[in-house]
Structure 1
Amino acid sequence: MNMNMQKMNMMLLDMIQHWDPFGYGSDAYETEAVDVLQAVHEYDEIRPLAEKIQAIYEFSFEEVIPFEKCVKMAEQLLKAKNEVECGF
């Protein structure tokens, strides 16, 4: 893995970990953050990524994040990913 990819993953992971959709504190979502990071690399479109994000958190916490919140997060993550990739 090259340095740019590593930096991108660190930045994305940081964004994901600071997202606190249930108000449990940002350190409550470590395994979900890693799953979401993987999903960011698998999906290039907002809606499928948002659906995946919603499913990851619902599976872990048995609570549903409103879809609009997942869409906003997916938009931010894909925007950040695309900005870094365009900088290569």
Structure 2
Amino acid sequence: MDINEMNRKAITIMKYWDPFAIGSESYGQEIGNVITQLQVLDDPSDLAKTIQMNYEYSFGKWIPLEQCVDISYKLIALKFKAKHII
């Protein structure tokens, strides 16, 4: 899997997540920011905190860290699969 395919799959995962139940089309900027951070972060906890802060900043609503950790593990697993680390 190349980086572009990984990014497409990560975007699909993020769109499916919809933490505020407002429709996946509402998260374009936030998803882009998360995908950018996915390129540089390898720790699920760090990525989860980034996700939480990013969405809270944009929407003014707090997401429990546990929900962010769940999605971050999916994204990190995808990244490691793309790198053939797993």
Asked if these proteins are the same fold (TM beyond 0.5), I'd say yes
The corresponding residue for 1:55 is: 53
C-alpha displacement at 1:54, in angstroms? Answer: 0.2
Number of matched residues? 85
After the TM superposition, list the runs of 4 or more consecutive aligned residues in structure 1 that deviate by more than 6 angstroms. none
Q: Secondary structure at the residue paired with 1:86?
A: coil
Amino acid at match of 2:77: K
RMSD, aligned α-carbons: 1.3
Unaligned ranges ≥5, structure 1: none
The corresponding residue for 2:26 is: 28
The corresponding residue for 2:72 is: 74
C-alpha displacement at 1:85, in angstroms? Answer: 1.1
TM-score (norm 1): 0.91
C-alpha displacement at 1:13, in angstroms? Answer: 1.2
Q: Secondary structure at the residue paired with 2:83?
A: helix
Deviation larger for 12-21 or 66-75: 12-21
TM-score (norm 2): 0.93
C-alpha displacement at 1:5, in angstroms? Answer: 1.1
C-alpha displacement at 1:74, in angstroms? Answer: 0.5
Q: CA offsets, 1:38-77, max 9 Å, x none? A: 1111110011110000000000000011110000010000
Q: Identity over aligned residues, as a percent?
A: 33
Greater relative contact order, per chain length (Cα 8 Å cut-off, separation 6+): 2
The corresponding residue for 1:37 is: 35
